[in-house]
Structure 1
Amino acid sequence: MCGIAGWLDWERDLTRGTATATVTAMAQTLARRGPDDAGVWTAPRIGLGHRRLAVTDPGGGAQPMAALGEDDGRPLLVVSFSGEIHNHRELRAELRARGHRFRTASDTEVLLAAHRQWGPEAVTRFAGMFAYALWDIERQTLHLGRDPLGVKPLYYAEHDSGVVFGSEPKALFASGLVEPEVDAEGLTDVFTVAAKRPGDAVYRTLREVRPGHLLSFGRGGSTSYRYWRLVSAPHQDDPETTVATVRSLLEGIVAEQTLADVPLGALLSGGIDSSAITALGAAALTAGGGGPLATYSVDFAGGEDDFAADALHVSRDAPYVRAVVDHVGTKHQEVLVEPTALLAESGVALRARDYPGVGDLDVSLHLLFREVRGHLTVALSGEGADDAFGGYPWFAQEAERPSGGFPWSAGVRDRNAVLSPALRGRLDLHERLERRYREALGEVPRLDGESGTDRRMREVYYLQHTRFLPFLLDRKDRMSMVHGLEVRVPYCDHRLIEYVWNVPWRLKSLGGREKGLLRAAVEDVLPAAVVHRPKSGFPVGQSPEYLRSVREAVSDMISDPGAPAMELLDADALRAMVRGRQWVNGDFTPPPILPRALQLNDWLTEYGVRVVL
C-alpha cells in the first residue's frame, strides 16, 4: 500500500545541499504506512521518496522505480506509487503483446510500462485503489494521479517555485515549506462530518488531488485532467439481469482482490456487506486452491451488557458474525476492545489523521486494525456498500421526505451551539453547509426527464459518493495504514459503481428492503438471518467507564486556562454535555461531540496549528 512523498522545485537543485535529506525526512513521516522498505530518488528538479508495504512481488518491487531505455539503460520515467492496480495482470499481458518487457512481477512496473505506451491517459486503464507521483524525465513533467473513488490519499501544496506532495499532511509539513494553518473553511471541516468539498484538505495551504483526476506540473504551469466521472443514462436491464450483473461484477472484483503475495483475510461484522465479501472471497480462495479465509470482527468488552440500540445500531454483531463463520467455514477471531483504551489511544488516531476525527469511532477501528495486522498484511472490507446500494437509514427517508440538505445531517439542530461566542461571530456552520450543499447539487450529472423520487435519489447517491464516502475512506485509510495494513474495498471498484449508479431506487431497494439489490445478488451464499438483518453500524463505545473518563477529561480541559480549544469552544455548552447524556446533535447519531473536543485540543497543541480567520 505504501506512502509516497516528494518535492518539485524549478529553481533549486535538489541533488545538492540538504534537499535529499529533506525528501528522506518527508518519506520517514510515513514509515508506518510502509514498514518494509524505503527509497529516495533525486534529480536537479525533483526528489521522490517512498515507504514500502510489500504486497505484490515483495522481492522485486522496490521503489521509487524507473522505466529504463532499451538502448542506453537510462531512466525515462520514475514513479513513487501507493496502492494496488488490481487488473495489472491483464494489463501486463496486453503490454507484453505490444513489445514491452518486464523485469519484476509488480504492478508498479506495469504502471510505468502503461505510461510509456499510452502516456498520461494510461490512468484510464487502471482498476484499483492508487495514488502516484510520476516524473517524466524527457518532458520534465510531474504527474500526480489518484484512483476514481479516492480510496488512496494524495495531498499537495504549491510553493513559490514548485510543489510538495505526499500521502498524508505530515509529509508536507516535514518539508519546511508548508505550515499547519486552518481558516474558516477548514474549521467547518473540523466541526462538521462528511461535508468536506472534493479537493479541500482541512489545512489552508494544502489541497488533495481529487478522486478520478490527474494533475500535471510542468515549467509552463499546471493542468488538471478529470479522467473519470459518473455518467447518467437510462437503466435498461430488467430486475433479474440487474441482480445477475451485480453478482457477476462482485465475483470478478473480489476474485481479483483476493490475489496477494502476503497473508490475506477479511473484516467481518455480520452485516450483509462484509458477509457477502467474506463468502465470495472464501469461494475465490478455494477455487484457487487456498483457504480457509481468515476473518476478524470487533466488539467492546462488556458490550453485551452495555449495548443500547439507536438509529444506526439496531443489533449486536456477534450472533450474526458467528452465523457467517459457521456457514462459510472461515477461520475467525474476535477482537475485544477494552473501554479504557478508547480514550488512551485517542492520540494515535489523531496523529494518524493529522487532524481531529470522530473520536472513539476512529479509535476502535485503529484497535481492530492493530490486532489484525498481527496476523495479516491485507484485509478485505465491506466499506462502500451502503453508499452504492443505499444502506443507511437516511436513504429511505429521503425517498419519502427529502430533507433539502445533506441527508446524514437531517435533524441536526444548532450546529453553532458548541462554538465559542467569539467564533460564532466569525463562523456560521449552518450557512457554510448550506452553501456547500448547493454547490454539490450543482455538480450532479442529471438525467434528462428524471423527476420526483428518482431525481432526488440520484442527488442523494451523488452526495453519498462525493462527500460521505470520502469521509469513510479517509478514516479507513489512516486507521489501517498507521499499522501498515492494506485494506481493500471491493465495493469501491469503479466498474461496479458505474453500473449501480444508474440503477433506479426501486431496484436498489428491491423487495422493499434497504440494499435489496445487493441482498438478492448474494442471498444464495449466506445464512437467511444475515440476508435479512437490517443495517447496523460499526460498534461504538457505550461503556459507563469510558463515558465517565471522557467527562472527566473534558472538565479538566474546560478548567485549563491554557487549553487552546477553549478559544473555539463554548464552555457552558460543554459543561451541559458533561452533566447530561446528550452528546450528539441530530437524528442519525453523528459522532459524539465530547471526544472530538478533546481531539481538537490535542491537535491545536501538538501540531501548533495557527487559526487564520
Structure 2
Amino acid sequence: MCAIAALLIRSGDAGTRLAPASKTLLHRGPDGTGWAGWWPDGRTATGLQPQNAPIALVHHRLAVIDPTPAAAQPFALPEGILVFNGEIYNHAELAASLVRRGIRPRTHSDTEVLALLLAHDGLPAVDRLRGMFALLWLDLRRGDLLVVRDHLGIKPLYWAEVADGLALASEPKALRTLGAGKAADAQGLWDHLRFGVTDHREQSCLSGIRQVAPGSWMRIDLRAARIVERGRWWGPRPVGGDIGAAFRTSVDRHLVSDVPLGFSLSGGVDSSAIICAAARHRSQLKGIGFASGDAQDETQWMRLAAAAAGADLELVSASPQQADLDLDELIRIQDEPFGGPSLIAQWQVFRRARDLGLTVMLGGQGADELFGGYASAVAAQAVGLARRGLFGQAMRLLSQHPGRWRAAVSREIADRLPGLRAWSAAEPWLLTSWFRDRGVAPCQPPLARGRDRLGRLLISDLTSTTLPMLLRYEDRTSMRFSVENRVPYCDRDLVEAGLAIADDDKISVDGTTKACLREMLRGLVPDAILDRRDKIGFAAPERRWREDPSGPWQRILDAANPAAAPWLDVSMLRRAIATGRGDPSVWRSLIALRWGQVLAMEWP
C-alpha cells in the first residue's frame, strides 16, 4: 500500500512541479520515497528527484510485503519502470509461474512479480492478478505510460489535464496542488446532496479531476503527454463456483503480510465472518470496534464475534467534542463530500489501529453489495417477484420488511419515469434554480442494465452507486493513519462467484437478506450473529452529536452565511434542523457546506 503520482509534460522540469504535490501524499507512504524520470532521448533515472525531465513518477512506500530495500519503488527493469499502489495477493503463485518460464525473481515482493509480468506479457498480464492495485508502467519499448486500476477500484487513482500535459495521483489533493479541481463540479454536488451518491462517475466532485474507472486501463504517449488509447479489462460477470471455497481462499490471501494486522469489527455478519475465518489459521488476533453508547451500540455482538475467534477486542468511542475536533481533518483527507457520521467512527478505529502498531486491517466491506444486504435489495427482490407474477411471494417478502413498501414503489417509479418530480422532490433548502442554470441532470443515477431487478441493483451497488464511495471513504480514512485497509469480500474470484448466485438464494421469501452467505457461514460464525435481522452497520451516535451544542453540527451552522454556498438556503436549513430534522439529507448538506469552506472551493 502506497501513494503514486506522475506528471507528464511536453517540455520543462516535471520533477520540480510534481514535488509539492507529492508531499500531500506522504501519509500514504511513510516508509520511503523514490522517483523516476524519463527524457525524450530515451534516458531514464530512478532514485532521487529527476532534474529537467519532462516526465516524473514518484512513489511513497508503506512497506507491507518484503519490507526490504530490494522491493522499493520505482522498480526498474530494462523493459520499463513500475510504480504501483496496492497488493497482489497471488504473487507467490505468479512468481512460481514465472520460474517455470525461466524467469526467476530476485526478491520476495509482489512488486517485482508485477513488473516482470508486465515486461514479458504486457497488458494481458493484468487479468491474472488477484488483489487491489493502481499501477503506472512506463513502457520503454512502446514509449508510453500504461495506467491500470483494479476490478472494483479498491485502490484509488485520479488524473487531470494540467498546463502542458497530464497528471495522475492517488488522491485529488495532489492534483489540486497542480492547479486542477479548484471548483466544484455541479453535477457531482447535486448527486451527493439529492441522492447521497458520489464516486459513481469518472468525473469527481472536483471540476476537471477524473478517476481512472475501476477495471479500466489507458495509455499515455510519453512525447505527446496525452491519452492515446483506453479500454476496460474487467466487467461484472458471473462465474460459477463454490462461494464457501472462494470466501475461505480470499480470507487466506488477505492474511498474507510481513507486518502486524488486525480486524475492523462492527458486530454484523460480514466483519464477524472475516475474523472467525482468520482464526482457522491464526491466533492472537486483534479486533477493533466502535462503541456508539446509544440504542444502536453493537458491543455485545462484537464481543461475541471476538470470543468465537479467540481474539482480543479493543473498543473506541468519540464524544461530541471529539467528533467536532476530527471533522475538518476528515473532510480534508476525503477530498470529496461524504454521506454520514459513520466516517467519524471509522476514523477512531483506524487511529487506534495505528496506535497499536497495526499496519494492516481487514474489514467486511463489499458483502452487502454482492449478496444483497441492504433494505433496498429487499425492495428490488419484491419488485422482481411481482414482475414474474409471484404476487403472493412479493407480499410475503414485504410483510417481513414493512418499511420497504414505499422504497419499492419509489424506486420502481424512478426507474420507469426518471424525470418525474426530479426537481420538485428535492429538499426545500436546495436552490434548484442554481443547479438548473448549470445544466445539471436532476434524475437519480440509473440502475445497471439487465433483466432481473435485484441483479441490476446489486451490480449498480457493486460498481457504481454504493461500493465505490464506501471504498473511497475507507481508503482515505485508513491511509490518513498509514494503515492498509483490506476487503476480502471484494476479491475478484469471490465477486464473480457471488454474481452467479440466483436472486432467490440471496433474498429468501421469508425476508432473510444475504441468505446464501448466512447459510455458508453456519458453523463458523455464531448463530446468534447469523440470525440477526437488525442491520445497523458501522453506526455512530449521530443524534447525540447533533443535539450537543459542542458537537460538529452547531459549529458548521455557526460558520454558515447566505454567501457561503450559493446552492443552499442556509436559513431554511437552520429552520429544518430546529424543528428536529436529522435525516441523511440534512447531514449531506451540512458536510457539503463545510467541505466548501475547508477546501476553499470555488462554486461554478
TM superposition score normalised by structure 1: 0.84
> Which residue does 2:290 correspond to in 1?
298
> Which residue does 2:522 correspond to in 1?
523
1:324 equivalent in alignment to 2:324: no
> Which residue does 2:234 correspond to in 1?
228
How big is the shift at 1:458?
1.4
Secondary structure at the residue paired with 2:300?
Answer: helix
Query: Structure 1 pair 335/382, CA: closer, same or farther in 2 (3 Å)?
Result: same
Amino acid at match of 1:573: M
5 Å-filtered alignment, 1:205-354, equals 205-218=208-221, 219=223, 221-231=227-237, 245-285=242-282, 291-300=283-292, 303=293, 306-307=294-295, 315-354=296-335
> Which residue does 2:25 correspond to in 1?
30
How big is the shift at 1:415?
2.2
Partners in 2 of 1:598 and 1:508 — Cα distance?
36
Query: Structure 1 pair 351/421, CA: closer, same or farther in 2 (3 Å)?
Result: same
Amino acid at match of 1:392: Y
> Which residue does 2:43 correspond to in 1?
none
> Which residue does 2:64 correspond to in 1?
55
> Which residue does 2:540 correspond to in 1?
540
How big is the shift at 1:485?
0.7
Partners in 1 of 2:102 and 2:321 — Cα distance?
59
Please say if residues 150 and 212 of structure 1, whose CA atoms lie closer than 8 Å, have aligned partners that are also in contact: yes
Partners in 2 of 1:555 and 1:67 — Cα distance?
52
1:580 equivalent in alignment to 2:579: yes
When structure 1 is superposed on structure 2, of 95-104 and 112-121 the one drifting more is 95-104
Amino acid at match of 2:529: V
Secondary structure at the residue paired with 1:355?
Answer: coil
Secondary structure at the residue paired with 1:432?
Answer: coil
How big is the shift at 1:232?
5.2
Match of 1:64 among 56, 70, 73: 73
Match of 2:474 among 473, 476, 485: 476
Amino acid at match of 2:187: E
Amino acid at match of 2:559: M
Amino acid at match of 1:552: Q
Please say if residues 26 and 49 of structure 1, whose CA atoms lie closer than 8 Å, have aligned partners that are also in contact: no
> Which residue does 2:555 correspond to in 1?
553
How big is the shift at 1:108?
1.0
Partners in 1 of 2:72 and 2:203 — Cα distance?
28
Per-residue CA shift, 1:432-479, capped at 9, x if unaligned?
334x31xx44xx3x4xxx5xxxx1111111211122110111111111
Across the aligned residues of Structure 1 and Structure 2, the Cα RMSD in angstroms comes to 2.5
Amino acid at match of 2:319: E
Match of 2:429 among 418, 425, 447: 418
5 Å-filtered alignment, 1:318-467, equals 318-375=299-356, 376-401=358-383, 402=408, 403-404=411-412, 405=414, 414-420=425-431, 422-423=433-434, 425-426=436-437, 431-434=441-444, 436-437=445-446, 440-441=447-448, 444=449, 446=450, 455-466=452-463, 467=465
How big is the shift at 1:421?
6.2
Partners in 2 of 1:223 and 1:132 — Cα distance?
16
When structure 1 is superposed on structure 2, of 187-196 and 111-120 the one drifting more is 187-196
Please say if residues 52 and 62 of structure 1, whose CA atoms lie closer than 8 Å, have aligned partners that are also in contact: no
1:99 equivalent in alignment to 2:102: yes
When structure 1 is superposed on structure 2, of 149-158 and 324-333 the one drifting more is 324-333
TM superposition score normalised by structure 2: 0.86
Partners in 1 of 2:265 and 2:522 — Cα distance?
16
Query: Structure 1 pair 471/325, CA: closer, same or farther in 2 (3 Å)?
Result: same
Partners in 1 of 2:592 and 2:545 — Cα distance?
22
Partners in 2 of 1:599 and 1:424 — Cα distance?
18
Partners in 2 of 1:377 and 1:406 — Cα distance?
43
1:503 equivalent in alignment to 2:481: no
Partners in 1 of 2:110 and 2:181 — Cα distance?
34
> Which residue does 1:488 correspond to in 2?
486
Partners in 1 of 2:228 and 2:163 — Cα distance?
13
Partners in 1 of 2:553 and 2:347 — Cα distance?
22
How big is the shift at 1:340?
1.8
Per-residue CA shift, 1:468-512, capped at 9, x if unaligned?
110111111111111111111000011111111121111123574
Query: Structure 1 pair 356/61, CA: closer, same or farther in 2 (3 Å)?
Result: farther
Extract unaligned runs of 5+ from structure 2.
40-53, 384-407
1:20 equivalent in alignment to 2:15: yes
Amino acid at match of 2:472: D
Please say if residues 5 and 166 of structure 1, whose CA atoms lie closer than 8 Å, have aligned partners that are also in contact: yes
Amino acid at match of 2:592: L
When structure 1 is superposed on structure 2, of 487-496 and 315-324 the one drifting more is 315-324
> Which residue does 1:115 correspond to in 2?
118
Secondary structure at the residue paired with 1:610?
Answer: coil
When structure 1 is superposed on structure 2, of 541-550 and 410-419 the one drifting more is 410-419
Amino acid at match of 1:593: V
How big is the shift at 1:139?
1.8
How big is the shift at 1:578?
2.5
Secondary structure at the residue paired with 1:524?
Answer: coil
Partners in 1 of 2:436 and 2:165 — Cα distance?
37
How big is the shift at 1:226?
0.7
Query: Structure 1 pair 564/36, CA: closer, same or farther in 2 (3 Å)?
Result: same
Query: Structure 1 pair 56/318, CA: closer, same or farther in 2 (3 Å)?
Result: same
Identity of counterpart residues, as a percentage? 31
Partners in 2 of 1:38 and 1:165 — Cα distance?
17
> Which residue does 2:394 correspond to in 1?
none
Please say if residues 15 and 55 of structure 2, whose CA atoms lie closer than 8 Å, have aligned partners that are also in contact: no
Partners in 2 of 1:425 and 1:13 — Cα distance?
41
Please say if residues 7 and 165 of structure 1, whose CA atoms lie closer than 8 Å, have aligned partners that are also in contact: yes
Query: Structure 1 pair 259/66, CA: closer, same or farther in 2 (3 Å)?
Result: closer
How big is the shift at 1:542?
3.5
1:154 equivalent in alignment to 2:157: yes
